[in-house]
Amino acid sequence: MSIKQKKTKARLPRGFVDRTGVELQVLEAMTAQIHEVYELYGFEALETPIFEYTDALGKSLPDVDRPNAGVFSLQDDDEQWMSLRYDLTAPLARYVAENFEVLPKPYRSYRLGYVFRNEKSGPGRFRQFMQLDADIVGAPTVAADAEVCMMAADSLDKLGFKRDEYVIRLSNRKILDGVLENIGLGENEQSDKRLIVFRAIDKLDRLGLEGVRLLLGDGRLDESGDFTKGAGLADDQIECILSLLRARNETTEETINNLKNIVDRNVCGLEGIRELEEMQEIFVANGYKDCMRIDPSVVRGLDYYTGPVFEAELCNKLSFGSIGGGGRYDGLIARFRDDNVPATGFSIGLSRLIAILQNVGKLRVNAKTGPVVVLMMDQEPGSIARYQNMVMQLRNAGIRSEVYLGESGIKAQMKYADRRCAPCVVIQGSQERDRGEVQIKDLVEGARLATEIKDNQTWRESRPAQITVKENQLVQAVQDILGK
């Protein structure tokens, strides 16, 4: 008796997703639309590898005690550590530093690619996801920050969102830095605690104020039983930070006044407020006031930000957090050079955006996404050649098409065409072949008429959405159907 070999279980790694044809079509269309906006703003394309040397990526994402936490890493044959990029900004910093002398400055670039995070996954939170970034390197004023925010708004407009369907929330790391200085956590003091504070505030949307309070204190136990160590701040320190998170008000003016009261006379904090006021003036002057909102709770989770920070989110209850964000990072390129190089940018999370659109039923898909299918009515060599000639004519006319190459009958072939979202099918049996004709069934129109014609006999007798044409009229007839 033979022993049955145990099969490997087909399973997808946690935090990763397979994407099918429709999603990839949507992704390609969204990317093309955003690229068009970026090009209008004068940005040029750049591609960097998905792997970088681990020391070049830095430790902006992981925990301070574990250099490889949060990223996927390996050693190459030279025993050098390499990591999959966790964002598209750190590789840009390396590229700019390496090519600094030959690049025009300010340098405007956009990049598209997958990034990888070795962290806990959840709804809309993946370990591999597609981002589309745009950055300006070498521009020191907040006019550059305002421009990338306006470009992000234009990108969402281009994707079909209305101005009341999204908001870009803004703050400034300098304001939080000022508050931290006031409570004894200046930039050069207890950097590990500062980083925990940044991470805690960045989780506000998911955990709420009480969850953030726990992370600013001793720590938090989540639903799974995992304990996250907190910053260990005193109650008065925690309350000062929480007052900043509660500072947002109905109007920009009231929010600004609240912030001025909170930072008191701290120079760094007041500078951050002034920069937000300058950005707001630019938004008002250019018609972007309604989609921009100053929100002190925005900090961004990466620790390389040094000035204005921003996040874009959709205005619906099913949103999985931000769909994009960015900010100013004037010190990141200085890791490779002796001088600071000012830089700012914005990243749109395409994978998360698609997940949200699927969840709310707003993933825009053209009903005619599949190929025209020529059905295989018989397997005779001469017939197969004729079917292949039909698709060749259609393809030569720029029409996506295929011959059914399975072994099933006509009913199963029609189901196949339906599952492929074919706009129509081409049928030629022996009788049609003898007459030099083909039948064409318009599947889209047929599906529509099926809701109107309820009687089965009437349906069979009328044969709606089905035409018969001469072979030499095939291409024109299909073009007419596709053009409806």
Is 393 within any annotated ligand binding site? no
DSSP-assigned states of every residue in 104-145: -SSEEEEEEEEEE-BS--BTTB-SEEEEEEEEEES--SHHHH
Task: Answer yes or no: is 304 a known binding residue.
Answer: yes
What Å distances lie between residue 122 and 180, 321, 413, CA to CA?
A: 31, 12, 39
Any binding-site annotation on 413? no
* Domain residue ranges in the chain: 21-359, 372-482
Cβ(266)–Cβ(291) below 8 Å: no
- Sequential DSSP letters for 357-380: HHHTT-----S--S-EEE------
pLDDT of residue 66: 41
Whether domain 21-359 has CATH 3.30.930.10:
yes
Determine whether the annotation assigns residue 18 to a binding site: no
Instruction: Pick the closest to residue 298 from 220, 212, 204, 219 (CA basis).
Output: 204
Residue 305 is labelled as binding a ligand: yes
Residue 95, annotated ligand binder? no
Beta bridge partners of 325: 311, 347
Is 460 assigned to a binding site?
A: no
Q: Is 131 annotated as a binding residue?
A: yes
Give residue 362's pLDDT: 66
Per-residue pLDDT of the chain (484 residues; tens, 9 = 90+): 567 788 999 999 998 989 887 788 888 989 999 999 999 999 999 999 999 999 888 766 434 334 456 889 999 888 899 999 999 999 999 999 999 999 999 999 999 999 999 887 777 678 999 999 999 999 999 999 999 999 999 999 999 889 999 999 999 999 999 999 999 888 776 777 888 888 888 888 888 899 999 999 999 988 777 888 899 999 999 999 999 999 998 899 999 999 999 998 999 999 999 999 999 999 999 999 999 999 999 988 777 899 999 999 988 755 567 899 999 999 899 999 988 899 999 999 998 888 777 776 666 655 457 899 999 888 777 888 999 999 999 999 999 999 999 989 999 999 999 999 899 999 999 899 999 999 999 998 888 876 666 666 554 555 668 999 999 999 999 999 998 7
What pLDDT score does 382 carry? 80
pTM of the predicted model over 0.75: yes
Query: Which CATH code fits 372-482?
Result: 3.40.50.800
Cβ distance 356 to 124 under 8 Å? yes
89 is in an annotated binding site: yes
How far is Cα 232 from Cα 215, in angstroms, rounded to an integer? 8
